[in-house]
Structure 1
Amino acid sequence: MPIFKRLNAGIFTKLILSFFIVIIPIFSISIYVIQSAEKNMREELSKSVVTNVHFYMSSFENEMARIIQINKELIFNEDFQKIRTIAADMDDYTRVQTILNVKDRLNLLKTSSLYVDNVKVYIPSMERGIFSNSYDNHIQPDELEALKMSGKTGSRITYWKKGLFLSEMYPDPFQKLPLSIALGVDLSTKKLQDTLRQIVDLDGAGASFINVKQNWSFSDGKQDSVLPELRKFLNNPDINGKPSGQGSLSIKGMNYLITYEYSKLLDTYLVVYIPANEVLGPLDTYRKFLWLLSIISTIIIVAFSYWIFRLIHRPLKRLVTSFRKVEKGDLQVEIHHNYSDEFKYLYGQFNAMVSQLNKLIGEVYEERIRSQQAELKQLQSQINPHFLYNSFFMLQGLVRMRDAQTAERLIQHLGDYFKFITRTGNETVTLDQEVHHSKAYTEIQTLRFSRQISVEWEELPETLRRLPVPRLILQPIIENAYVHGLEDKVSDGILSIRFEEADGVLVIKVEDNGENISEAGLKDLRYRIQTHDLGKESTGILNVHRRLKLRYGEQYGLSVSRGTAGGVLVEMRLSTRGVEKVV
C-alpha cells in the first residue's frame, strides 16, 4: 500500500496497522448495521403490528356486523312480532310454542358465532325475558337499563359488568316511542380476550378495546394498569378522530409503542401496546458484545502480529527475496532452512523448481518456436495438387474460349495466392493481408463453382485491419469448407465469413450449408480439436487450431458446431488485447 511505502516502520508495526485498517471498517460497518437493524426492526414491527391490528379489527368488525344484521332480522321475525304484539291474546299452548320458537332462534344465533355467549330478548308487554342459555325469564334492572342506555347513545357495543354485549331496540329509541322489544347479545369474555392475546405475543405487550365516548375499556387481562393512560392517549385531539395510526407513550418510566385502529360501526378503538425494550433490547446486548469483541480482537491482533513476526516473517522474507532474484533471471539461487517445519518443505520445493526451470525453460521455449516454424513451413509446402491442377485446367479452358478478361482475373488471383503461400520471410501478417489472401482463394473457387457456390464476406472492421495474426489461419478453414462441405453441392451452396469483436476477443466465423459431414463425423472432429489429436491430418483445420493455442493460449483456437444453415460452423477465437497494431 502507498501509505506503507511512505511509512518508515518495521513489519510488526505494519502488521498491527494492517489489522486495524481491516478492523476499523468492519467495526464501523457493524455499528451501522446495528443502527440500520434497529431502524428496520422498528419499521418491520410497526408494519407487522399495523397489519395484525387491521386484520383482527376487520375480522371482529365483520363478525359483529353479521351478528347485528341477524339481530335486526330477529326483531322483525314473525314469532318475535307475535310475542311482542299479541302475547296477551294467545292461549297458553300457543304462547308457550311461540316462546319456544323464539328461544330456538336465540340458540341458533348463539351457536352461529364463537363470540356469542348468551342471547337475551326482553318483551315489555309480557314483563319477562327469554334467554338462550336458560329458562329463567328475569332480567336484572341494571342490565335492562344498560340495554336501554346503549340504544340512546347509538353505540352498537356496550360495556356492562366487565363484559361486552350488542343490543337492538324496537322501535328505535331516537323515535321517542315506548320500548316494544329489546334484544341483547352477550359476547364471550374468554373468546374476546383470547383474540386480543393473539394479536401480539411479547412480554409486557397487550391489546384492548377502548370506547372513548362511553369511557370504558376491555382488555386481554395482561396489564389493566395501563388502560387509563391509553384512554388519555386516545382522547388527545391530535389522535381522536383518526381512523388508525401509531405513537409512543411513556407509562411509569416504561416506553411503549402504541398502534390503534377505529371501528366506525362499533364506535370503538382497538389498541395494541408493546414495550420498546422488548423490541430493541436484543440490540443493546449486541452492542455490548460488539465492544467486548473489539477489545478482545485488539489484544489478539497484537499478540498474533508479534507471533507472526517471530515465526513466519523472517523465513518468508528470505523466500520472497529469492523469488525476486528468480524473477530478475537469476536461476542459480538456492536457499536452506534449519528447522523441520513447512518452510523447510517450501525451500526444498523452491530449489527443485528453480533447478527444473533452469533445465526446461530453454527446451520448452525452443521447442515451441521450432514447432510453430515447422508447422508453418509444412503448411506452406503442402499445396493441394488438385486445386493446382483444377486452376490450370480452368485457365486452359478460358484461353480456348478466348475469355481473356476472366483469364486475366484468374491469373491475378493465382498470382496473389501463390505469392502469399511462398513467402517465407515473416510468420506474422496483418489480418487484412490474411483476409486478402483468403479472398483470392475464394475468388478462384468462385470462378470454378460460380453456379453452385456463392461466397458472402462480411466487411472487416477498420480497427482490425492492422491486427497482427499468424499466417495461413483463415484460408485452410475456407478450403476445408469447400472440400468437405460444398464440393458436392449441385446448386445453392453458400459460404459465409463473419467477424465479431468484443472484450478483447475476435471471433471469425466460417459457415457453410453443406450436407457432407454427418453428426458422427462432426463429433469426431470436435473431439480431435478438444484433445489435440491430429490423427491423419496434421496441416489443415487441426494444424491451425494448434498454432493458435501456441500463440494466444489455451482459451483460444477453433471450435466446430452445426450451423444454422445445416452445415458446419467453425469459430476462430483470437486475442486483440496487448497486441500492437502493425503500422
Structure 2
Amino acid sequence: MVRRLKTIMVVCFVLVNALFLAGVSYLSYTYFFTFTTEEISESRLSLLNESANKLSGFTRNISEAGKFIAIDRSVIDLFSQEYEDPYTALVNRDELQNIVRDVSSLKREIQSIEVYTDWFKDYPYLYKNTLYPESELGLFPWFRTFIESVDNGWAPEHLDPHSGHEVISYIHRIMDSRNRTVGYIKVNVKSTEFLGFLRDMNLYEEINEPFILLNTGGSVIAETHSRYDFPMMNKLLTKSSDTMFERLIPKYDKRTNYHEVVQEDNEHYMILLSEPNQEQWRLAQIILIDELYEDTRQLRLFIIVIGSAAILLSIPIVYSIGRWITKPITHMVRAMRKVEKGQFDVQLNEHYIEEYDILTGNFNQMTKELDKLVKQVEKEHANRREAELRALQSQIMPHFLYNTLDMIKWKSMDHDVENVEEMVNNLSKMLRIGLSGGLNFIQLREELEHARAFVDIQKQRLTQNINYQVRVPAKLKDLYVPKIIIQPFIENSLKHGYSLTETEKIDLKVRATLDENEEMVIIHIEDQGVGFPPNWSMEGKTGIGIKNVRERIWLYCGEHYDVRISNKEEGGTRVTITLPIYESNPSFHGKDKEETPDTENE
C-alpha cells in the first residue's frame, strides 16, 4: 500500500494529468466531432442538392426523347391508320423505326429506344430491332403497376433482355388520334451512364460512398453501390405496400434537404437527403463518418501519445519537486524517531515556507518542553529512589546496632574487656563499611569483610562452633556490588537454620562465580541447617532482612536481577544472588550520582 507522501504526490499528479488529458481530449473530440459533422453535413448537403439539380437536366434530356416520339404527329398518324395489306404495314414500321433511330442518334446518353405495341400483331414477322410486342413489356414486374397509375415515368434499374445490360428506362404511353393506347416507348439508359454522370460531378470516385436515386413518387430508381458492401442501405429502404418499387423507410420518405447522423453496428453514418430538383427527383447519400475522421483520429492519437509522453517525462521532475517539498517533513520524521528513542535535545532548522516554519517552531518547543519534563521526572524519580534506599538502609542499620550493642552491654557487665574491644572493633568496621561515605555500591571484598565482621561478632556472642568459609576468586573481589546483601542472609541462617545448642556445629559458606556467558555475578550463601518448610515462599514473609535486600537490588540493578532461596538436596539452605557486572562504582557516574547532592554532602 502506497503511504509515502512523495509517491502519493507523483501518483496524484499522474492521475490528475491523465484524467485532465483524457477529459480535454474527449471534450475536444466531442465538440470537434459535433461541430465538424454539422459543417460537413451542411456542405455535403449543399453539394448533393447541386448534384440533384444537375441530374435534372440529364433526366429531362432522356425523357424529352421519349415524349418527342410519343407525341410526334407522324407517329400518331401511323398508329391511327388501318393497315390493309402487309406492304403498308411494312412501310409504316420502317418509318417508325427511322423516327426512333433519328431521335436515338441525337442523344448520346441513350443506349436504345424500344417500341412495344400490338399494332403489328397480324404481321409478327415485322417485330424486330426496335419494335416488340406489348406482351414482352408486361413481363417486367413493375410494368402492370406502372401502367395502371401514370402515362409516363421511369422504371427502376433492371436487365434489358435485348441488350443484356442493366438499364434505367423512361416509359411513355403512345396514344392514337382517338386517345387510345396503342403502345409504349421505352427509352433505355445504361445504369453506368447514371453513375458516370455522378462521376462527372466528382462525387462517386472521390468519395466512394453510395447514392440512391429517387423519382418523383419517392421510388428507388438506381443505386450506385452493392448492398453487400454497404448493408446500411438495407436499413434505409423498404418495399412499398402498393407497388413493386422500393422506397425510403417512413422516417426519411418525405424528408427533403435533410441530414442526420445515425449509429448502426458501432458505426456512425451521415444520412443526406437532397431537396427535389425540377423533375421532383431526389438524391440520398450515405457517408461512413469514420472514414471522414480517419485523419482526425490519427491526430487525436498523436495528441494522446504526446500528452502521455509528456506526463511520463514529467514524473522525475515532479518526483524531484515532491522530494524538495517534503524534505522538511522527512527531517521532522527523523527527528521524531530520535525523540521516540529518548533524545529530547533534537532541534529543527527554520524553513522559509510558512507552514513548515510553524511546524518546526512547534516541534522545537515541544522537544524543549519534553526534555525539561523528562529531566524533572528523572530528578524526582532519582530523589524518590534515593529516599526509598535510605529508608531501606535505615531499617537494617538499627537492627545491627540493637543486637550488637545489647551483646556488648552484657559483655561489659561480665568485665570481659578483651572481647568487648574486639566486638567494638568489628562493630566499627561494620558501621564504616555500611555507611561507606553514602555510596550505594562497594567492592565485593568490602562486602565480604563486612560479613566476616558480623560472623566474628556472632562467634563471640554464641557458644556454638561457627565454621565460616569464603571461596571467591581474586578477580571478582574488585567488582562492585550493592552493600549489605550477604550479612542479612548469614544472620537469618544463624537465627532460623540452627537450634543453637552448645554441641551443634554451624557451617556457613560464601561462594561467587560468573555465569556461563560472563554477563552476571552469582553469589551463593549456603548452610547445613534445617532448611525451609515445603510450602515456604519469600512473598509471604514480612521480615526486614530478605525483603530489604531484594528491594535494594531491584532499585539498584533492575528487576531481572533477584534473590532465590531453596533447600539443598543434602540438607540446608542455599541463597543465590544474581547481580550485574560492575567494574567501576556506578555510584560515581550517571544520574544516580549527579542528581543526589545530599548523598555527596553526607
TM-score normalised by L of structure 1: 0.41
- Of structures 1 and 2, the larger Rg is shown by 2
TM-score, L = length of structure 2? 0.39
